[in-house]
Amino acid sequence: MKLSELVKERYTTKAFDPEFTLTEEQIEEIKTLLQYSPSSTNSQPWHFIITGTEEGKERIAKASAGRYEVNVQKIRDASYVIVLCSRSYIDDSYLQSLLANEEHDGRFADSDAKNMQNKTRLFYTNMHRFELKDIQHWTEKQVYIVLGNLLMGSAILGIDACPMEGFDPAVLNQELNLREKGYTSSIIVALGRHSEGDYNRKLPKSRWPQESVITELK
Ligand SMILES: Cc1cc2nc3c(=O)[nH]c(=O)nc-3n(C[C@H](O)[C@H](O)[C@H](O)COP(=O)(O)O)c2cc1C
Domains of the chain (ranges, CATH numbers): 3-89+135-213 (3.40.109.10)
Instruction: Using a pLDDT cut of 70, give the percent of the chain over it.
Output: 100
pLDDT value for 50? 98
Pocket of ligand 1 (CB under 6 A): 11-12, 14, 71, 162-166, 187, 205
Q: Are 51 and 86 in contact (CB under 8 A)?
A: no
- 190 pLDDT band (50/70/90 cuts)? very high
Per-residue pLDDT tens for 59-100? 999 999 999 999 999 999 999 999 999 999 999 999 999 999
Q: Are 9 and 159 in contact (CB under 8 A)?
A: no
Nearest CA to ligand 1 atom 11: 14
Nearest CA to ligand 1 atom 4: 164
* Most informative mutation of 60, 72, 164 for ligand 1 (most atoms within 8 A of CB): 164
Q: What is the mean pLDDT of the chain?
A: 98
Give the number of other CB atoms < 10 A from CB of residue 42.
Answer: 15
* Most informative mutation of 165, 203, 207 for ligand 1 (most atoms within 8 A of CB): 165
Distance 179 CA to ligand 1 centre (A): 26
Instruction: Using a pLDDT cut of 90, give the percent of the chain over it.
Output: 100
- 166 pLDDT band (50/70/90 cuts)? very high
Give the number of other CB atoms < 10 A from CB of residue 61.
Answer: 24
- For residues 166 and 47, give the distance between their C-alpha atoms in angstroms, rounded to a whole number: 19
Residue type at position 119? K
Measured between alpha carbons, how far is residue 6 from residues 137, 202, 215 in Å?
Answer: 30, 16, 23
pLDDT value for 67? 96
Per-residue pLDDT tens for 134-158? 999 999 999 999 999 999 999 999 9
Measured between alpha carbons, how far apart are the two ends of the chain, in Å? 31
pLDDT value for 107? 98
- 212 pLDDT band (50/70/90 cuts)? very high
3-class secondary-structure state, position 37:
coil
The minimum-distance atom of ligand 1 relative to the CA of 166 is: 8
3-class secondary-structure state, position 68:
helix
* Conformational region of residue 209, where left means phi above 0, alpha means psi within -120 to 50, and beta covers everything else: beta
Q: What is the pTM of this model?
A: 0.97
Q: Where are the alpha helices (DSSP H) in the chain?
A: 3-9, 24-35, 54-61, 72-77, 92-104, 111-126, 135-157, 169-175, 178-181, 199-202, 210-213
Which residues carry out catalysis? Answer: 14, 74, 165
